[in-house]
Amino acid sequence: MIHLVAWRNLWRRRQRTLFTALAMGVGVGLSMGSMALQRGVSLELFDELVTDTLGHVQLHHPSYPSTRRLHDTLKELSALTAQVEGQRGVLSTSPRLMSVALVGGAQRSTGALISGVDPVREAKLSELDQSVIQGAWLASQAERQALIGEGLAEELSIGVGGELAVVGQDAYGGVAQGLFTICGVVRSGSVELDSAGVWLHLQDAQALFALEDQGHELIIVSGDATTQALGEGEDERALQELKAKLIALPLLKEAAPLTRTWREAMPSISQLMDTQRASSYIMLVIVLALAALGILNTMLMSVYERTRELGVMLAIGVQPRLISALVIVEALYLATVAALIGLILGGTIDYLLITYGLDFSVNGEGLSYGGVRLSPRLYGAFEWSSALATLAGLYLTTLLASLWPAYRASHLEPVEAINKGSQ
Amino acid sequence: MALPPPSPLRSWSATLFFKRRGSSLLAFGLLAVSVSYGHATPPSPSSASAPLEARKGEIEALLDLTDDLNRGRSSHSELVMKVKTARYEREMTIEAWSEGAERSLLRILSPKRDAGVATLKVGDEAWNYLPKIDRTLKISASAMGGAWMGSHLTNDDLIKGSRMRRDYTWALMSRPTDSGEGRYQIELTPKPDVPVVWGRLTLYISADKRPERVEYWNERGRLQRVMSFHDYRELDGRAVPMRMRVTPKNKEGELTELIYTTLDFNVSLPPRTFSLQSLKR
């Protein structure tokens, strides 16, 4: 009964109701769109940085992250890798050796960042193997092959099949020297790596730098779904559990490498993502605050217009509580109309963002964010939690904003109200 | 697999890279068969006691003796370099040729991973040859301060070959008595315009005129390293140390030793021994 009355009351002023609902709905829709876009960018950053580069959990020699010394390595790397891989919850691992060296083709030479990777494991863990734009990924056996970044290839005027000379310092301070055949050119998405990256087979790199069975990091990607969800707290908790299990492994106990989750390893990236997330919620709060003002205004007007009518209702014995409920239910119906508009609009925006993306290219290049080059076209990503948060927020603010009009309506003095209304 | 023709590549501009890294990549130099004294500097603190009177000729002869200790008109030698650091100990065998102070060539014989690496010095210039990539690299000015093959010797030590008599002013601090007690102690301060890194050197020479050790002090008067000479042997009518040791003073327990296994002076070297072609062999 009250619902029917409320619904009909709402449409007595069709235009006003529609405009209020439309304003709220557009706000909701836009904030849904912006959340989807933010989520998309975060996921891309996460993919590029966390899944491909940092891993969920990473092992290092305790002083390597601060010193970057060539000889601060993880020893018995193959046994360590095998043990970590045997751990439940570990999806993939990648042992890596990293150094800097001078590299040159026939004509020119320049500094480069050398990464020794296990081709099979690295391909499973990261998308680097799919970033090869010319030639092929490293062979699974060490064959003195090298992959080089696109910019570096250009700088050295060298291509697939060419010879790459690498000269550096080995672990004993002697000369690391090696000649490699370029098997592929990479566009990885990392500004730094594309302009200076060289990837070698792990064993070739170990021989080059006199670091047999050693490496600088072991990257671990978890198979646990929550760790991939990029939530706010639950993924970190799951990773901490995995980390605790890893630390208990015999080889890790013995060597005590530095074991960190990606948030611990790169707090700045973690904060960046959290900030992004927070900023889209702040936007939602602003939208909802505006919606609340709309509701407040509409409902106060509606109560004011109906002063006489409400007075009569009170006079014939309708309970004030019912009057309050009526006003609140009216507001909630208004919110429902707004939510429908918002969902249709937001859904459409989300669909377009997810399907077609948004072109963010500058001169044909993607934006660069925290050293990671994003793709020129950014795509949105839908997240139930943010859609639900938006709707819940809308209803909650509506409820709050209708309390005052409801109070006013139920506390009218019947006689006064009737007289006032008749003036 | 055709390799690009190796050449003494100016294009291999190692300089930039070294600057960028600030490390001692390719820190490589000439194991010239001599002791040389290096590098850039502000004036040194004056020492406490007053210098003794000395004949100029007598002291300058001692300085030349020290500079030319393991150097003849020409030489051919084989030596072992032992490097001991906190992390590792390693040994290298090296074959070396020299002609006067201006030319030298050395080639690493073992270990296998470094075999064939060779360094040529002619005058003020030096090149490295890296056999695995078949390339010759000129040693750039910025690479001079780096350690040579992980040792405690710098490229500068090995390449530059500054002369004590020419580049330093000396003061005799003590001398042996007539009965042969004590030793010569000579303080050397770099002349104002000479590019050396040390603030002061102290040279100790025994009564029978065998250099015993050289102390290297920085400009703040702190001892940086000590080079000492051991196992003297009569060769070609003079005393020659068969073992030299460099001990850095800021790294406890670390040292580098050079031990001659053979050393022949005044050998006849084939023409073009000191050429870029002979670097590769």
Q: Is residue B2 part of a domain?
A: no
In terms of domains, do A79 and A143 share one?
A: yes
A144 close contact with B: CB closer than 8 A: no
In terms of domains, do A32 and A126 share one?
A: no
Q: The domain that contains B205 carries what CATH number? A: 2.50.20.10
- In chain B, the residue whose alpha carbon lies closest to the alpha carbon of A208 is B113
Q: Is residue A383 part of a domain?
A: yes
Count of the separate structural domains present in chain B: 1
CA distance A102 to chain B (A): 7
Q: Is residue B12 part of a domain?
A: no
In terms of domains, do A315 and A339 share one?
A: yes
Average pLDDT over residues B38-56: 56
Q: What are phi and psi of B195, to 5 degrees?
A: -80, 90
- In chain A, the residue whose alpha carbon lies closest to the alpha carbon of B137 is A167
Q: Is residue A123 part of a domain?
A: yes
Residue of B9, B12, B150 lying closest to A173 (CB–CB): B150
Provide the whole-model pTM. 0.73
Domain range spanning residue A403? 2-47+271-422
Q: Are strands B135-138 and B8-9 parallel, antiparallel or unpaired?
A: parallel
Q: Is residue A53 part of a domain?
A: no
In terms of domains, do A318 and A348 share one?
A: yes
Pairwise CB contact (< 8 Å): A177 & B132: yes
Q: What is the pLDDT along chain A (423 residues), one digit of tens a residue?
A: 788 888 888 888 889 899 999 999 999 999 888 888 888 888 877 777 777 788 889 999 999 999 899 999 999 999 999 999 988 888 899 999 999 999 988 778 899 999 999 999 999 988 889 999 999 999 999 999 999 999 999 999 999 999 999 999 899 888 899 999 999 999 987 788 899 999 999 999 999 999 999 999 999 988 875 555 555 566 778 888 889 988 998 888 888 899 998 888 888 878 887 888 888 888 889 989 988 998 999 999 999 998 898 999 999 988 999 999 999 999 999 999 999 999 999 999 999 998 888 887 766 666 666 666 667 778 888 888 888 888 999 999 999 999 999 999 999 888 888 887 554
Pairwise CB contact (< 8 Å): B13 & A109: yes
In terms of domains, do A185 and A288 share one?
A: no
Count of the separate structural domains present in chain A: 2
Q: Is residue A54 part of a domain?
A: no
Where is the domain boundary, A223, A241, A260? A223
Q: Is residue B236 part of a domain?
A: yes
A11 close contact with B: CB closer than 8 A: no
Which chain B positions have a beta carbon within 8 Å of A109's beta carbon?
A: 9, 11-14, 17
In terms of domains, do A80 and A11 share one?
A: no
Residues 102-121 of A with CB under 8 A from B: 102, 104-111
Q: Count of CB atoms within 10 A of residue A26's CB?
A: 16
Provide the token pair at B272.
Answer: 């073009």
Pairwise CB contact (< 8 Å): A175 & B11: no
Pairwise CB contact (< 8 Å): B150 & A166: no
Q: Is residue A253 part of a domain?
A: no
Q: Are strands A145-149 and A197-201 parallel, antiparallel or unpaired?
A: antiparallel
Which chain A positions have a beta carbon within 8 Å of B87's beta carbon?
A: 71
Domain range spanning residue B79? 24-263
Pairwise CB contact (< 8 Å): B4 & A106: yes
Pairwise CB contact (< 8 Å): A163 & B4: yes
Nearest CA to A193 among A163, A148, A154? A148
Size of interface A-B (CB pairs under 8 A): 83
A155, A157, A167, A192: best to mutate for the B interface, most B CBs within 10 A: A167
In terms of domains, do A110 and A172 share one?
A: yes
Residues A363, A361: Cα–Cα separation, whole Å: 6
- In chain B, the residue whose alpha carbon lies closest to the alpha carbon of A72 is B87
Q: Is residue A242 part of a domain?
A: no
A102, A144, A163: best to mutate for the B interface, most B CBs within 10 A: A102
Pairwise CB contact (< 8 Å): B133 & A172: no
- In chain A, the residue whose alpha carbon lies closest to the alpha carbon of B117 is A175
In terms of domains, do A87 and A208 share one?
A: yes
A177, A181, A192, A214: best to mutate for the B interface, most B CBs within 10 A: A177
Q: Is residue B216 part of a domain?
A: yes
List, in sequence order, every residue forming a beta bridge with A197; answer none if it has no partner.
A113
In terms of domains, do A121 and A181 share one?
A: yes
CA distance B256 to chain A (A): 13
Confidence of residue B164 (pLDDT cuts 50, 70, 90): confident
Q: Is residue A307 part of a domain?
A: yes
pLDDT tens digits, B59-117? 899 998 888 887 778 889 999 999 998 888 899 999 999 888 788 888 999 898 899 99
Q: What is the pLDDT of residue B29?
A: 32
Is A168 within 8 Å of A124 (Cβ atoms)? no
Q: Rounded to whole angstroms, what are the CA distances from A19 to A12, A14, A291, A348? A: 13, 9, 12, 20
Q: What is the DSSP string of A4-43?
A: HHHHHHHGGGHHHHHHHHHHHHHHHHHHHHHHHHHHHHHH
Q: Enter the ipTM.
A: 0.72
CA distance A198 to chain B (A): 16
Pairwise CB contact (< 8 Å): A174 & B149: yes
Q: What is the pLDDT of residue A225?
A: 59
In terms of domains, do A74 and A136 share one?
A: yes
In terms of domains, do A141 and A27 share one?
A: no
Pairwise CB contact (< 8 Å): B147 & A173: yes
B3, B132, B134: best to mutate for the A interface, most A CBs within 10 A: B132
- In chain B, the residue whose alpha carbon lies closest to the alpha carbon of A175 is B26
Pairwise CB contact (< 8 Å): A169 & B151: no
Q: Amino acid letter at B39?
A: H
Q: Is residue A33 part of a domain?
A: yes
Q: Is residue B19 part of a domain?
A: no
Nearest CA to A44 among A423, A420, A395, A381? A381
In terms of domains, do A358 and A310 share one?
A: yes
Q: Is residue B281 part of a domain?
A: no
Q: Is residue B10 part of a domain?
A: no
